[in-house]
Structure 1
């Protein structure tokens, strides 16, 4: 029930959902004769959507999350690392594409960064995580197939196919490696603050290795024009912000 409530709240607080609800309410109110109030709600819904799709707004929300942890450009010295952990993302197992083509944007970049770091210490296990629609087509299985095709020996790959979210991923890694284990943790930069909290709360010692950066400070005309890409960034930032708030109820 908690997972369902969390999912519904995450959907309803997104700008597109808020805009649609506000627009719909305004249209109904306008239809019953409250034209001024209805028009104000409709105008507010459009203003909300435009602001959410504007780069100065999306970057101001997303960049603080992405910049909390520095990129791990080289192997962390003086760290007794037990494994490289790549957190789950999205993938499309039913598509007739190559295994790398089935990985989503975030999961492809997460795996690429995980492999880059693993190759610096190929004696360590590579932990790949994520559930799926069934036990045969999990995110962990997709990661494992892609990693093997890119040169990682099968015996070095450890699949964690059951976790459905970051909290479950942290608990699964702890169950495998034990409390106090130190891991290089690979995930999207905007997701890293939440992932670090989950892993630290279960007693692990994660070393942040963020990737998949979306924020930018570039100028130019395109930067000032609202776009679907900027709307996605705003929704990503809001989703992670609510995820950080929800952590206190997940442990």
Structure 2
């Protein structure tokens, strides 16, 4: 949205300077790209390949020697006067729900919850831990990683906790999973993907809403661009 607004503004300025045809073309292109980005067929085709790189876990395979279930940080609002589940963002709530579902099948494992925050006593990890305890996980099974502020730092913190080569089950949004796996592999760990929070292909193709541009579809396109740029950035980070 910001990129298209900037492009439109540049076109308007060029038009004001007297280059009417060029300015008009840039403004028209910006509007067209914005409409396409907010259209479900485009958004789903951009986000779908990222979300489908790793399949969801239905049950624990016997041959996997997992040491911990690791739920990666998302967003939350610690100062809101809501219940603990209400303070978690959509992505965080679904990540934690999937992590708890998998942990309850193997309660002998550690549940590692991650995420920093501006207040060191009210981080994302603290929010996860509070919600997990409210949903039946004993405190002694929960490990909070409160210092990481991005995925690369989360991977390094897990390595410091469990050691190099540890096999861990990574729970995060499906679109974020390819980038998360790269970071954890680069940190010397053996991650296993457990994706959740799918956004693509959630609208029926025959429904009228599927063919009309919307803010929901624009969000998918923004997520796809963000994660693609993140994957490209890893090449310079490691």
Q: Which TM-score bucket, shorter chain as reference?
A: over 0.9
Q: What does residue 8 of structure 1 align with?
A: none
Q: What does residue 22 of structure 2 align with?
A: 37
* Aligned match for 2:204, one of 214, 218, 232: 218
Segments ≥4 residues shifted beyond 4 Å = none
CA RMSD of aligned residues (A): 0.9
Partner SS for 1:94: coil
**For residues 228 and 61 of structure 1, what CA distance do their matches in structure 2 show?**
15
2:186 equivalent to 1:201: yes
Give the TM-score of the pair, scaled to structure 2: 0.97
Q: What does residue 85 of structure 2 align with?
A: 100
Partner SS for 1:209: strand
Q: Contact between 1:167 and 1:250, CA under 8 Å: does it hold in 2?
A: no
**For residues 216 and 34 of structure 2, what CA distance do their matches in structure 1 show?**
13
**For residues 59 and 218 of structure 1, what CA distance do their matches in structure 2 show?**
12
**For residues 201 and 33 of structure 1, what CA distance do their matches in structure 2 show?**
52
2:234 equivalent to 1:244: no
Deviations 1:6-64 (A, max 9, x none): xxxxxxxxxx1221111111111111222221111111110010010011111111000
Partner SS for 1:81: coil
* Aligned match for 2:53, one of 61, 64, 68: 68
Q: What does residue 24 of structure 1 align with?
A: 9
Partner SS for 1:143: helix
2:221 equivalent to 1:234: yes
Q: What does residue 82 of structure 1 align with?
A: 67
2:38 equivalent to 1:53: yes
Partner SS for 2:232: helix
Q: Contact between 1:53 and 1:227, CA under 8 Å: does it hold in 2?
A: yes
Q: How big is the shift at 1:218? A: 2.7
Partner SS for 1:119: helix
How many residues are aligned here? 236
**For residues 69 and 243 of structure 1, what CA distance do their matches in structure 2 show?**
17
**For residues 80 and 26 of structure 2, what CA distance do their matches in structure 1 show?**
42
2:45 equivalent to 1:91: no
Q: Contact between 1:26 and 1:37, CA under 8 Å: does it hold in 2?
A: yes
**For residues 38 and 198 of structure 1, what CA distance do their matches in structure 2 show?**
42
* Aligned match for 2:106, one of 99, 121, 141: 121
Partner SS for 2:180: helix
* Aligned match for 1:156, one of 141, 144, 153: 141
Q: Which structure 1 residue ranges, 5 or more long, are not aligned?
A: 1-15
**For residues 249 and 129 of structure 1, what CA distance do their matches in structure 2 show?**
24
